[in-house]
Amino acid sequence: MAYTVTPSPVGPVGSQYCVYKVELSICGQNLLDRDVTSKSDPFCVLFVEVNGKWVELDRTETAVNNLNPAFAKKFIIDYHFEEVQKLKFALFDQDKSSMQLYEHDFLGEFSCTLGMIVSSKKITRTLLLGNGKPAGKGMITIAAQELSDNRVITLSMAGRKLDKKDLFGKSDPFLEFYKPGDDGKWMLVHRTEVIKYTLDPVWKPFTVPLVSLCDGDVEKQIKVVCYDYDSDGGHDFIGEFQTSVARMCEAQDALPLELECINPKKQKKKKNYKNSGIIIVKSCKITRDFSFLDYILGGCQLMFTVGIDFTASNGNPRDPSSLHYINPMGTNEYLSAIWAVGQIIQDYDTDKMFPALGFGAQLPPDWKVSHEFAINFNPTNPFCSGVEGIVQAYSACLPHIRFYGPTNFSPIINHVARFAAQATQQQAATQYFILLIITDGVISDMDETRHAVVQASKLPMSIIIVGVGNADFAAMEFLDGDSRVLRSYTGEEAVRDIVQFVPFRDFRNAPKETLAKAVLAELPQQVVQYFKQQNLPPVNSEPA
Protein backbone atom coordinates (compact mmCIF):
# COMPACT_ATOMS: atom_id res chain seq x y z
CA MET A 1 0.00 0.00 0.00
CA ALA A 2 1.61 3.26 -1.07
CA TYR A 3 1.00 6.27 1.17
CA THR A 4 -0.24 8.79 -1.34
CA VAL A 5 -4.00 8.83 -0.88
CA THR A 6 -5.36 11.70 1.21
CA PRO A 7 -7.85 10.85 3.94
CA SER A 8 -11.47 10.75 2.78
CA PRO A 9 -14.12 12.12 5.16
CA VAL A 10 -15.92 8.78 5.32
CA GLY A 11 -14.14 5.48 4.83
CA PRO A 12 -12.06 2.84 6.47
CA VAL A 13 -10.14 3.87 9.52
CA GLY A 14 -6.39 3.40 9.35
CA SER A 15 -3.13 5.15 8.78
CA GLN A 16 -2.60 3.44 5.42
CA TYR A 17 -5.14 5.88 3.93
CA CYS A 18 -3.04 8.93 4.79
CA VAL A 19 0.06 10.69 3.60
CA TYR A 20 2.48 10.75 6.50
CA LYS A 21 3.42 14.38 7.14
CA VAL A 22 6.50 14.97 9.29
CA GLU A 23 7.33 18.24 11.02
CA LEU A 24 11.05 18.98 11.47
CA SER A 25 12.19 21.44 14.17
CA ILE A 26 15.66 22.96 13.80
CA CYS A 27 18.09 24.34 16.40
CA GLY A 28 21.69 25.48 15.94
CA GLN A 29 24.48 25.48 18.53
CA ASN A 30 27.82 27.36 18.58
CA LEU A 31 27.42 28.67 15.03
CA LEU A 32 30.29 30.48 13.34
CA ASP A 33 30.33 34.21 14.02
CA ARG A 34 30.55 35.96 10.65
CA ASP A 35 29.65 39.50 11.78
CA VAL A 36 32.40 41.86 12.93
CA THR A 37 30.45 44.10 15.28
CA SER A 38 27.72 41.68 16.40
CA LYS A 39 26.82 37.99 16.28
CA SER A 40 25.61 36.15 13.18
CA ASP A 41 21.97 36.40 12.07
CA PRO A 42 21.37 32.78 11.03
CA PHE A 43 18.59 31.19 8.97
CA CYS A 44 18.28 27.55 7.84
CA VAL A 45 17.45 26.32 4.33
CA LEU A 46 16.13 22.82 3.62
CA PHE A 47 17.06 21.19 0.31
CA VAL A 48 15.71 17.87 -1.02
CA GLU A 49 17.43 15.76 -3.65
CA VAL A 50 15.39 15.46 -6.84
CA ASN A 51 16.92 13.46 -9.72
CA GLY A 52 20.43 13.93 -8.32
CA LYS A 53 20.08 17.73 -7.83
CA TRP A 54 19.48 19.70 -4.63
CA VAL A 55 16.26 21.69 -4.76
CA GLU A 56 15.29 24.24 -2.11
CA LEU A 57 12.10 23.22 -0.29
CA ASP A 58 11.78 25.88 2.39
CA ARG A 59 13.68 28.19 4.76
CA THR A 60 13.23 29.35 8.36
CA GLU A 61 12.99 32.87 9.69
CA THR A 62 16.20 34.75 10.56
CA ALA A 63 17.32 34.66 14.22
CA VAL A 64 18.89 38.07 14.87
CA ASN A 65 22.22 38.21 16.73
CA ASN A 66 22.11 34.58 17.83
CA LEU A 67 24.71 31.80 17.60
CA ASN A 68 22.38 29.27 19.29
CA PRO A 69 19.09 29.73 17.44
CA ALA A 70 15.91 27.69 17.94
CA PHE A 71 13.87 28.41 14.81
CA ALA A 72 10.11 28.90 15.25
CA LYS A 73 9.36 28.05 11.61
CA LYS A 74 9.04 24.27 11.09
CA PHE A 75 9.75 22.30 7.93
CA ILE A 76 6.85 20.06 6.86
CA ILE A 77 7.66 17.19 4.52
CA ASP A 78 5.80 14.13 3.17
CA TYR A 79 7.37 10.89 4.39
CA HIS A 80 7.60 7.77 2.20
CA PHE A 81 9.14 4.75 3.91
CA GLU A 82 9.89 2.92 0.66
CA GLU A 83 12.02 5.75 -0.76
CA VAL A 84 15.46 7.12 0.17
CA GLN A 85 14.63 10.78 0.82
CA LYS A 86 17.90 12.73 0.91
CA LEU A 87 17.84 16.07 2.75
CA LYS A 88 20.37 18.86 3.24
CA PHE A 89 20.15 21.51 5.95
CA ALA A 90 22.29 24.59 5.23
CA LEU A 91 22.74 27.54 7.59
CA PHE A 92 23.54 31.07 6.44
CA ASP A 93 24.22 34.40 8.12
CA GLN A 94 21.80 36.94 6.66
CA ASP A 95 23.71 39.97 5.42
CA LYS A 96 21.28 41.55 2.99
CA SER A 97 17.57 41.31 2.26
CA SER A 98 18.34 39.32 -0.91
CA MET A 99 16.69 35.91 -1.52
CA GLN A 100 19.84 34.75 -3.35
CA LEU A 101 21.84 32.46 -1.07
CA TYR A 102 25.24 33.47 -2.50
CA GLU A 103 24.61 36.96 -1.06
CA HIS A 104 24.78 35.52 2.49
CA ASP A 105 27.68 34.07 4.48
CA PHE A 106 27.67 30.25 4.68
CA LEU A 107 27.70 28.84 8.26
CA GLY A 108 27.78 25.11 7.49
CA GLU A 109 25.55 22.26 6.35
CA PHE A 110 24.47 18.72 7.21
CA SER A 111 23.06 16.02 4.89
CA CYS A 112 21.17 12.85 5.80
CA THR A 113 18.04 10.89 4.89
CA LEU A 114 14.59 11.52 6.35
CA GLY A 115 14.64 7.86 7.45
CA MET A 116 17.69 8.56 9.65
CA ILE A 117 15.88 11.43 11.38
CA VAL A 118 12.58 9.64 12.05
CA SER A 119 14.29 6.45 13.25
CA SER A 120 16.19 8.49 15.87
CA LYS A 121 13.37 11.03 16.46
CA LYS A 122 16.06 13.62 17.29
CA ILE A 123 19.61 13.93 16.02
CA THR A 124 22.47 16.35 16.75
CA ARG A 125 25.30 16.49 14.23
CA THR A 126 28.37 18.57 13.35
CA LEU A 127 27.93 21.21 10.65
CA LEU A 128 30.39 20.90 7.77
CA LEU A 129 31.89 23.47 5.42
CA GLY A 130 32.04 22.98 1.66
CA ASN A 131 35.47 21.29 1.98
CA GLY A 132 34.02 18.64 4.34
CA LYS A 133 35.74 20.09 7.42
CA PRO A 134 33.79 21.04 10.59
CA ALA A 135 32.32 24.56 10.66
CA GLY A 136 34.08 25.48 13.91
CA LYS A 137 32.12 24.03 16.83
CA GLY A 138 28.83 24.50 14.99
CA MET A 139 26.16 21.84 15.51
CA ILE A 140 22.62 21.30 14.26
CA THR A 141 19.78 19.50 16.06
CA ILE A 142 16.81 18.19 14.06
CA ALA A 143 13.71 16.79 15.80
CA ALA A 144 10.89 14.96 13.99
CA GLN A 145 7.21 14.74 14.85
CA GLU A 146 4.32 13.21 12.93
CA LEU A 147 1.64 15.77 12.13
CA SER A 148 -1.36 13.61 11.35
CA ASP A 149 -4.03 13.29 14.03
CA ASN A 150 -4.25 9.54 14.62
CA ARG A 151 -7.15 9.64 17.09
CA VAL A 152 -10.29 7.65 16.35
CA ILE A 153 -13.66 7.78 18.09
CA THR A 154 -15.85 4.74 18.80
CA LEU A 155 -19.52 5.45 19.51
CA SER A 156 -22.25 3.16 20.80
CA MET A 157 -25.70 4.66 20.15
CA ALA A 158 -29.29 3.67 20.94
CA GLY A 159 -32.79 5.25 20.84
CA ARG A 160 -35.87 5.18 23.06
CA LYS A 161 -39.51 5.99 22.29
CA LEU A 162 -38.81 7.44 18.85
CA ASP A 163 -41.78 8.81 16.90
CA LYS A 164 -43.77 6.20 14.97
CA LYS A 165 -43.61 7.08 11.26
CA ASP A 166 -44.99 3.99 9.51
CA LEU A 167 -48.77 3.67 9.16
CA PHE A 168 -48.96 -0.07 9.75
CA GLY A 169 -45.90 -0.66 11.88
CA LYS A 170 -43.12 0.95 13.86
CA SER A 171 -40.27 3.07 12.45
CA ASP A 172 -37.07 1.82 10.77
CA PRO A 173 -34.64 4.33 12.33
CA PHE A 174 -31.08 5.28 11.36
CA LEU A 175 -28.78 8.16 12.34
CA GLU A 176 -26.72 10.59 10.28
CA PHE A 177 -23.81 12.60 11.74
CA TYR A 178 -22.85 16.00 10.29
CA LYS A 179 -20.08 18.50 10.91
CA PRO A 180 -19.92 22.16 9.74
CA GLY A 181 -18.21 22.46 6.33
CA ASP A 182 -15.95 25.34 5.24
CA ASP A 183 -18.90 26.82 3.32
CA GLY A 184 -21.04 26.96 6.49
CA LYS A 185 -23.26 24.07 5.35
CA TRP A 186 -23.56 20.78 7.24
CA MET A 187 -21.44 18.00 5.77
CA LEU A 188 -22.37 14.32 6.16
CA VAL A 189 -19.69 12.34 8.01
CA HIS A 190 -21.28 9.01 8.95
CA ARG A 191 -24.53 7.07 8.55
CA THR A 192 -25.46 4.16 10.80
CA GLU A 193 -27.22 1.00 9.66
CA VAL A 194 -31.04 0.83 9.63
CA ILE A 195 -32.73 -1.03 12.51
CA LYS A 196 -36.07 -2.41 11.31
CA TYR A 197 -39.49 -2.23 13.06
CA THR A 198 -38.55 -0.58 16.35
CA LEU A 199 -38.95 2.63 18.29
CA ASP A 200 -36.12 1.56 20.65
CA PRO A 201 -33.19 0.86 18.31
CA VAL A 202 -29.69 -0.22 19.38
CA TRP A 203 -27.15 0.52 16.68
CA LYS A 204 -23.85 -1.35 16.25
CA PRO A 205 -20.83 0.50 17.66
CA PHE A 206 -18.88 2.29 14.92
CA THR A 207 -15.42 3.88 14.65
CA VAL A 208 -14.44 6.93 12.59
CA PRO A 209 -11.34 9.14 12.56
CA LEU A 210 -11.76 12.07 14.94
CA VAL A 211 -10.61 14.37 12.12
CA SER A 212 -13.55 13.15 10.01
CA LEU A 213 -16.17 13.64 12.73
CA CYS A 214 -15.15 17.05 14.11
CA ASP A 215 -11.86 18.08 12.42
CA GLY A 216 -10.09 16.90 15.59
CA ASP A 217 -11.81 19.65 17.65
CA VAL A 218 -13.76 17.94 20.46
CA GLU A 219 -15.58 21.20 21.30
CA LYS A 220 -16.90 21.71 17.75
CA GLN A 221 -20.69 21.38 17.38
CA ILE A 222 -21.86 18.37 15.40
CA LYS A 223 -25.42 17.62 14.31
CA VAL A 224 -27.10 14.21 14.66
CA VAL A 225 -30.26 13.57 12.61
CA CYS A 226 -32.61 10.61 13.05
CA TYR A 227 -34.66 9.33 10.07
CA ASP A 228 -37.18 6.59 9.41
CA TYR A 229 -35.92 4.57 6.44
CA ASP A 230 -38.06 4.28 3.29
CA SER A 231 -37.00 1.99 0.44
CA ASP A 232 -37.92 4.68 -2.14
CA GLY A 233 -35.31 7.03 -0.64
CA GLY A 234 -37.90 9.44 0.77
CA HIS A 235 -36.79 8.93 4.36
CA ASP A 236 -39.03 10.53 7.00
CA PHE A 237 -37.44 13.01 9.38
CA ILE A 238 -37.88 11.98 13.05
CA GLY A 239 -35.75 14.59 14.81
CA GLU A 240 -32.32 16.06 15.42
CA PHE A 241 -30.01 17.58 18.02
CA GLN A 242 -26.62 19.25 18.23
CA THR A 243 -23.83 18.23 20.57
CA SER A 244 -20.03 17.95 20.71
CA VAL A 245 -17.59 15.08 21.08
CA ALA A 246 -16.56 16.51 24.47
CA ARG A 247 -20.19 16.25 25.65
CA MET A 248 -20.65 12.72 24.23
CA CYS A 249 -17.47 11.63 26.01
CA GLU A 250 -19.30 12.22 29.31
CA ALA A 251 -21.13 8.95 28.59
CA GLN A 252 -19.88 6.00 30.64
CA ASP A 253 -20.83 2.33 30.37
CA ALA A 254 -22.76 2.54 33.63
CA LEU A 255 -24.03 6.08 33.03
CA PRO A 256 -25.18 6.69 29.42
CA LEU A 257 -25.81 10.20 28.10
CA GLU A 258 -29.40 10.94 26.99
CA LEU A 259 -30.11 13.62 24.38
CA GLU A 260 -33.56 14.77 23.26
CA CYS A 261 -34.36 14.26 19.58
CA ILE A 262 -36.27 17.35 18.46
CA ASN A 263 -38.51 17.93 15.40
CA PRO A 264 -38.56 21.79 15.11
CA LYS A 265 -41.83 21.84 13.07
CA LYS A 266 -43.68 19.76 15.67
CA GLN A 267 -42.13 21.87 18.42
CA LYS A 268 -43.60 25.05 16.87
CA LYS A 269 -47.04 23.53 16.27
CA LYS A 270 -47.64 21.67 19.54
CA LYS A 271 -47.65 23.49 22.87
CA ASN A 272 -47.15 20.36 24.97
CA TYR A 273 -44.47 18.88 22.62
CA LYS A 274 -41.60 17.40 24.60
CA ASN A 275 -39.48 15.54 22.04
CA SER A 276 -39.59 12.93 19.27
CA GLY A 277 -37.74 10.42 21.36
CA ILE A 278 -34.42 10.10 23.15
CA ILE A 279 -31.06 9.28 21.54
CA ILE A 280 -28.73 7.56 23.99
CA VAL A 281 -24.92 7.70 23.83
CA LYS A 282 -24.14 4.39 25.53
CA SER A 283 -20.39 4.88 25.29
CA CYS A 284 -17.93 7.21 23.58
CA LYS A 285 -14.21 6.39 23.54
CA ILE A 286 -11.32 8.18 21.87
CA THR A 287 -8.25 6.06 21.16
CA ARG A 288 -5.22 6.35 18.92
CA ASP A 289 -5.01 4.48 15.62
CA PHE A 290 -1.23 4.21 15.57
CA SER A 291 0.59 4.48 12.25
CA PHE A 292 3.87 2.96 11.08
CA LEU A 293 5.56 6.28 11.72
CA ASP A 294 4.27 6.33 15.31
CA TYR A 295 6.02 2.99 15.92
CA ILE A 296 9.27 4.16 14.26
CA LEU A 297 9.26 7.46 16.17
CA GLY A 298 8.56 5.38 19.29
CA GLY A 299 11.93 3.70 18.77
CA CYS A 300 10.94 0.47 17.00
CA GLN A 301 14.01 -1.00 15.24
CA LEU A 302 13.75 -2.88 11.94
CA MET A 303 16.07 -5.89 12.18
CA PHE A 304 17.28 -6.86 8.69
CA THR A 305 18.60 -10.30 7.65
CA VAL A 306 19.57 -11.44 4.14
CA GLY A 307 19.30 -15.03 2.87
CA ILE A 308 21.15 -15.81 -0.39
CA ASP A 309 20.55 -18.79 -2.69
CA PHE A 310 23.82 -20.56 -3.61
CA THR A 311 22.28 -23.57 -5.38
CA ALA A 312 23.82 -25.08 -8.53
CA SER A 313 20.99 -23.83 -10.78
CA ASN A 314 22.50 -20.33 -10.47
CA GLY A 315 25.49 -21.42 -12.61
CA ASN A 316 29.23 -21.18 -11.99
CA PRO A 317 29.94 -17.65 -10.63
CA ARG A 318 33.01 -17.39 -12.90
CA ASP A 319 30.80 -17.87 -15.98
CA PRO A 320 29.23 -14.62 -17.34
CA SER A 321 25.91 -16.48 -17.79
CA SER A 322 25.72 -17.22 -14.03
CA LEU A 323 23.31 -15.21 -11.87
CA HIS A 324 26.15 -14.88 -9.33
CA TYR A 325 28.63 -13.58 -11.93
CA ILE A 326 29.78 -10.10 -10.86
CA ASN A 327 29.98 -8.04 -14.04
CA PRO A 328 32.67 -5.41 -14.81
CA MET A 329 30.34 -2.79 -13.25
CA GLY A 330 30.72 -4.74 -9.96
CA THR A 331 27.12 -5.89 -9.74
CA ASN A 332 24.59 -8.64 -10.51
CA GLU A 333 20.90 -9.22 -9.74
CA TYR A 334 21.66 -10.52 -6.23
CA LEU A 335 23.69 -7.41 -5.38
CA SER A 336 21.09 -5.10 -6.94
CA ALA A 337 18.37 -6.62 -4.73
CA ILE A 338 20.55 -6.35 -1.60
CA TRP A 339 21.30 -2.67 -2.32
CA ALA A 340 17.70 -1.76 -3.22
CA VAL A 341 16.20 -3.13 0.01
CA GLY A 342 19.18 -2.65 2.35
CA GLN A 343 19.75 1.04 1.65
CA ILE A 344 16.20 1.82 2.82
CA ILE A 345 16.08 -0.49 5.86
CA GLN A 346 19.55 0.32 7.20
CA ASP A 347 18.30 3.75 8.35
CA TYR A 348 15.98 2.04 10.84
CA ASP A 349 18.57 -0.06 12.69
CA THR A 350 20.87 1.89 15.00
CA ASP A 351 23.84 -0.49 15.03
CA LYS A 352 23.55 -1.30 11.29
CA MET A 353 24.88 -4.83 11.90
CA PHE A 354 23.04 -7.25 9.64
CA PRO A 355 23.23 -11.07 9.61
CA ALA A 356 23.85 -12.39 6.07
CA LEU A 357 23.14 -16.09 5.54
CA GLY A 358 23.52 -18.46 2.61
CA PHE A 359 21.79 -21.71 1.69
CA GLY A 360 22.19 -24.56 -0.80
CA ALA A 361 26.00 -24.71 -0.92
CA GLN A 362 28.75 -27.14 0.11
CA LEU A 363 31.15 -25.57 2.59
CA PRO A 364 34.84 -26.16 3.27
CA PRO A 365 36.58 -28.03 4.72
CA ASP A 366 34.35 -31.16 4.64
CA TRP A 367 32.06 -29.93 1.79
CA LYS A 368 28.83 -30.72 3.60
CA VAL A 369 25.67 -29.03 2.27
CA SER A 370 24.35 -26.21 4.46
CA HIS A 371 20.98 -24.45 4.28
CA GLU A 372 21.83 -21.87 6.90
CA PHE A 373 25.43 -20.62 6.97
CA ALA A 374 27.07 -17.26 7.70
CA ILE A 375 28.50 -15.91 4.44
CA ASN A 376 31.36 -14.37 6.45
CA PHE A 377 32.11 -17.97 7.68
CA ASN A 378 31.74 -16.83 11.29
CA PRO A 379 28.76 -18.82 12.67
CA THR A 380 28.90 -17.17 16.10
CA ASN A 381 28.94 -13.68 14.57
CA PRO A 382 27.24 -13.66 11.14
CA PHE A 383 26.82 -9.88 11.26
CA CYS A 384 28.02 -7.58 8.48
CA SER A 385 28.54 -3.86 8.99
CA GLY A 386 25.96 -2.03 6.87
CA VAL A 387 24.89 -2.95 3.37
CA GLU A 388 28.49 -2.47 2.23
CA GLY A 389 29.56 -5.19 4.68
CA ILE A 390 26.98 -7.62 3.22
CA VAL A 391 28.23 -6.89 -0.31
CA GLN A 392 31.87 -7.42 0.70
CA ALA A 393 31.12 -10.71 2.53
CA TYR A 394 29.08 -11.94 -0.46
CA SER A 395 31.86 -11.20 -2.97
CA ALA A 396 34.50 -12.72 -0.69
CA CYS A 397 32.64 -16.00 -0.09
CA LEU A 398 31.87 -16.84 -3.76
CA PRO A 399 35.28 -18.42 -4.59
CA HIS A 400 35.27 -20.55 -1.40
CA ILE A 401 31.96 -22.44 -1.67
CA ARG A 402 30.53 -25.03 -4.06
CA PHE A 403 27.06 -24.37 -5.40
CA TYR A 404 24.84 -27.37 -4.75
CA GLY A 405 21.24 -27.85 -3.57
CA PRO A 406 18.40 -28.37 -2.90
CA THR A 407 16.60 -24.99 -2.54
CA ASN A 408 15.39 -25.15 1.08
CA PHE A 409 13.87 -21.96 2.54
CA SER A 410 12.57 -23.24 5.88
CA PRO A 411 15.92 -23.34 7.81
CA ILE A 412 16.57 -19.63 7.23
CA ILE A 413 12.94 -18.63 7.94
CA ASN A 414 13.06 -20.61 11.19
CA HIS A 415 16.46 -19.05 12.03
CA VAL A 416 15.03 -15.50 11.94
CA ALA A 417 11.78 -16.65 13.58
CA ARG A 418 13.75 -17.79 16.65
CA PHE A 419 15.01 -14.22 17.17
CA ALA A 420 11.57 -12.73 16.46
CA ALA A 421 10.09 -15.10 19.08
CA GLN A 422 12.60 -13.83 21.66
CA ALA A 423 11.52 -10.24 20.89
CA THR A 424 7.89 -11.08 21.78
CA GLN A 425 8.94 -11.64 25.41
CA GLN A 426 9.63 -7.90 25.79
CA GLN A 427 5.89 -7.06 25.46
CA ALA A 428 6.78 -3.79 23.71
CA ALA A 429 6.87 -2.55 20.12
CA THR A 430 10.68 -2.38 20.05
CA GLN A 431 11.78 -4.78 17.28
CA TYR A 432 10.40 -6.05 13.97
CA PHE A 433 12.36 -8.54 11.83
CA ILE A 434 12.66 -8.46 8.04
CA LEU A 435 14.11 -11.40 6.12
CA LEU A 436 15.11 -10.77 2.51
CA ILE A 437 15.50 -14.03 0.58
CA ILE A 438 17.01 -13.79 -2.91
CA THR A 439 16.59 -16.95 -4.98
CA ASP A 440 16.74 -18.18 -8.55
CA GLY A 441 14.11 -20.85 -8.54
CA VAL A 442 11.70 -23.43 -7.32
CA ILE A 443 11.49 -24.22 -3.57
CA SER A 444 12.38 -27.83 -2.74
CA ASP A 445 10.91 -27.89 0.79
CA MET A 446 7.51 -26.32 0.02
CA ASP A 447 5.60 -28.07 2.83
CA GLU A 448 8.19 -27.10 5.47
CA THR A 449 8.38 -23.55 4.07
CA ARG A 450 4.60 -23.12 4.16
CA HIS A 451 4.59 -24.35 7.76
CA ALA A 452 7.48 -22.02 8.69
CA VAL A 453 5.67 -19.00 7.15
CA VAL A 454 2.40 -19.81 8.93
CA GLN A 455 4.26 -20.02 12.29
CA ALA A 456 6.21 -16.81 11.52
CA SER A 457 2.94 -14.96 10.79
CA LYS A 458 2.35 -14.95 14.57
CA LEU A 459 5.66 -13.15 15.17
CA PRO A 460 7.02 -9.60 14.57
CA MET A 461 8.43 -10.65 11.20
CA SER A 462 8.00 -10.15 7.44
CA ILE A 463 9.59 -12.03 4.55
CA ILE A 464 10.56 -10.42 1.24
CA ILE A 465 11.41 -12.78 -1.61
CA VAL A 466 13.13 -11.45 -4.73
CA GLY A 467 13.24 -13.95 -7.59
CA VAL A 468 16.27 -13.51 -9.89
CA GLY A 469 16.72 -15.05 -13.33
CA ASN A 470 13.96 -16.36 -15.58
CA ALA A 471 12.63 -19.39 -13.67
CA ASP A 472 8.97 -20.23 -13.06
CA PHE A 473 8.06 -18.44 -9.83
CA ALA A 474 4.47 -19.73 -9.46
CA ALA A 475 5.27 -21.24 -6.04
CA MET A 476 6.50 -17.85 -4.77
CA GLU A 477 3.23 -16.20 -5.80
CA PHE A 478 1.50 -18.92 -3.78
CA LEU A 479 3.47 -17.96 -0.63
CA ASP A 480 2.59 -14.27 -1.14
CA GLY A 481 -0.93 -14.50 0.28
CA ASP A 482 -2.37 -11.47 -1.56
CA SER A 483 -5.02 -13.52 -3.36
CA ARG A 484 -5.76 -16.23 -0.77
CA VAL A 485 -4.84 -17.17 2.80
CA LEU A 486 -1.72 -19.33 3.05
CA ARG A 487 -2.18 -22.67 4.85
CA SER A 488 0.34 -25.01 6.43
CA TYR A 489 0.32 -28.71 5.46
CA THR A 490 -1.45 -29.23 8.80
CA GLY A 491 -4.32 -27.03 7.60
CA GLU A 492 -3.43 -24.14 9.94
CA GLU A 493 -3.97 -20.70 8.36
CA ALA A 494 -1.53 -17.78 8.47
CA VAL A 495 -2.87 -15.15 10.88
CA ARG A 496 -1.66 -12.42 8.49
CA ASP A 497 0.04 -12.08 5.11
CA ILE A 498 3.78 -11.59 5.79
CA VAL A 499 5.34 -12.56 2.43
CA GLN A 500 5.96 -10.10 -0.39
CA PHE A 501 7.31 -11.63 -3.61
CA VAL A 502 8.64 -9.73 -6.64
CA PRO A 503 10.45 -11.10 -9.71
CA PHE A 504 13.58 -9.04 -10.42
CA ARG A 505 13.03 -9.42 -14.19
CA ASP A 506 10.07 -6.98 -13.97
CA PHE A 507 12.52 -4.26 -12.84
CA ARG A 508 15.60 -4.93 -14.98
CA ASN A 509 15.09 -1.83 -17.11
CA ALA A 510 13.44 0.34 -14.45
CA PRO A 511 15.17 2.88 -12.19
CA LYS A 512 16.62 1.10 -9.14
CA GLU A 513 14.24 2.94 -6.76
CA THR A 514 11.21 1.19 -8.28
CA LEU A 515 12.35 -2.24 -7.04
CA ALA A 516 12.61 -0.92 -3.46
CA LYS A 517 9.15 0.65 -3.71
CA ALA A 518 7.56 -2.60 -4.94
CA VAL A 519 9.36 -4.78 -2.41
CA LEU A 520 8.74 -2.55 0.62
CA ALA A 521 5.25 -1.29 -0.27
CA GLU A 522 3.39 -3.66 2.10
CA LEU A 523 5.88 -3.57 4.97
CA PRO A 524 4.55 -0.55 6.96
CA GLN A 525 1.08 -2.12 6.94
CA GLN A 526 2.47 -5.47 8.12
CA VAL A 527 4.34 -3.82 11.01
CA VAL A 528 1.25 -1.92 12.18
CA GLN A 529 -1.01 -4.95 11.75
CA TYR A 530 1.24 -7.12 13.94
CA PHE A 531 1.55 -4.63 16.82
CA LYS A 532 -2.19 -3.88 16.74
CA GLN A 533 -3.06 -7.58 16.86
CA GLN A 534 -0.81 -7.86 19.92
CA ASN A 535 -2.34 -4.68 21.38
CA LEU A 536 1.11 -3.08 21.68
CA PRO A 537 1.22 0.74 21.45
CA PRO A 538 4.42 2.52 20.39
CA VAL A 539 6.92 2.96 23.21
CA ASN A 540 6.37 6.34 24.97
CA SER A 541 3.07 6.96 23.13
CA GLU A 542 0.81 9.66 24.54
CA PRO A 543 -2.72 8.84 25.72
CA ALA A 544 -5.52 9.91 23.34
For 431-464, write each residue's pLDDT tens digit: 999 999 999 988 999 999 999 999 999 999 999 9
Query: Is pLDDT of 228 > 90?
Result: yes
Residues 211 and 270 both lie in one domain: yes
- Let me know if residue 374 belongs to a domain: yes
Residues 507 and 424 both lie in one domain: yes
Q: What is the pLDDT of residue 18?
A: 43
- Let me know if residue 3 belongs to a domain: no
Per residue in 498-527, is it b (16+ CB within 10 Å) or e — as a string? bbbbbbbeebeeeeeeebbbbbbbbbbbbb
Give the mean pLDDT of 142-163. Answer: 92
Residues 111 and 236 both lie in one domain: no
Q: Which of 261, 288, 315 is the last residue of a domain?
A: 288
- Let me know if residue 447 belongs to a domain: no
Q: What is the pLDDT of residue 19?
A: 59
The answer to whether 539 touches 300, Cβ cutoff 8 Å, is yes
Residues 25 and 108 both lie in one domain: yes
- Let me know if residue 110 belongs to a domain: yes
Residues 182 and 134 both lie in one domain: no
In sequence order, the 6+-apart residues with CB closer than 8 A to the CB of 168 are none
For 242-260, write each residue's pLDDT tens digit: 999 999 999 877 799 999 9
The CATH number that applies at residue 457 is 3.40.50
For 1-40, write each residue's pLDDT tens digit: 222 222 333 333 333 334 588 999 999 999 999 877 888 9
Peptide bond between residue 320 and the one before it cis (omega within 30 degrees of 0): no
Neighbours of 118 (CB within 10 A): 24
Q: Which of 259, 288, 317 is the last residue of a domain?
A: 288
Q: Which of 131, 146, 161 is the last residue of a domain?
A: 146
CA distances from 367 to 308, 376, 511 (A): 18, 16, 39
For 383-428, write each residue's pLDDT tens digit: 999 999 999 999 999 999 999 999 999 999 999 999 999 999 988 8
- Let me know if residue 9 belongs to a domain: no
Give the mean pLDDT of 98-103. Answer: 88
Q: What is the pLDDT of residue 137?
A: 96
The pTM (predicted TM-score) of the whole model is 0.80
Three-state SS for 66? coil
Residues 157 and 134 both lie in one domain: no
Residues 388 and 320 both lie in one domain: yes
Q: What is the pLDDT of residue 4?
A: 26
Residues 308 and 225 both lie in one domain: no
Residues 130 and 178 both lie in one domain: no
Give the mean pLDDT of 53-72. Answer: 94
Residues 206 and 352 both lie in one domain: no
Q: What is the pLDDT of residue 471?
A: 85
The answer to whether 127 touches 138, Cβ cutoff 8 Å, is yes
Query: Which pLDDT band holds residue 221 (cuts at 50, 70, 90)?
Result: very high
DSSP 473: -
pLDDT more than 90, % of the chain: 77
For 159-194, write each residue's pLDDT tens digit: 999 998 866 778 999 999 999 988 888 998 999 999
Considering its fold, how many domains does the chain have in total? 3
The count of residues in the chain is 544
As a whole number of Å, the end-to-end CA separation of the chain is 26
For 345-379, write each residue's pLDDT tens digit: 999 998 999 999 999 999 999 999 999 999 999 99
Host domain of residue 207: 151-288
Q: What is the pLDDT of residue 136?
A: 95
- Let me know if residue 278 belongs to a domain: yes
Rounded distance between C-alpha atoms, residue 467 and residue 519, angstroms: 11
Rounded distance between C-alpha atoms, residue 281 and residue 251, angstroms: 6
Mean pLDDT over the full length of the chain: 90
Residues 254 and 331 both lie in one domain: no
Residues 377 and 491 both lie in one domain: yes
Query: Which pLDDT band holds residue 279 (cuts at 50, 70, 90)?
Result: very high
Q: What is the pLDDT of residue 166?
A: 67
CA atoms within 13 A on the CB side of 305: 25
**Where are the strands (E) in 365-429, listed by range?**
368-370, 373-374, 383-385, 402-403
What DSSP string runs through 104-120?
A: SEEEEEEEEEHHHHHHH
- Let me know if residue 4 belongs to a domain: no
pLDDT more than 70, % of the chain: 95
- Let me know if residue 294 belongs to a domain: no
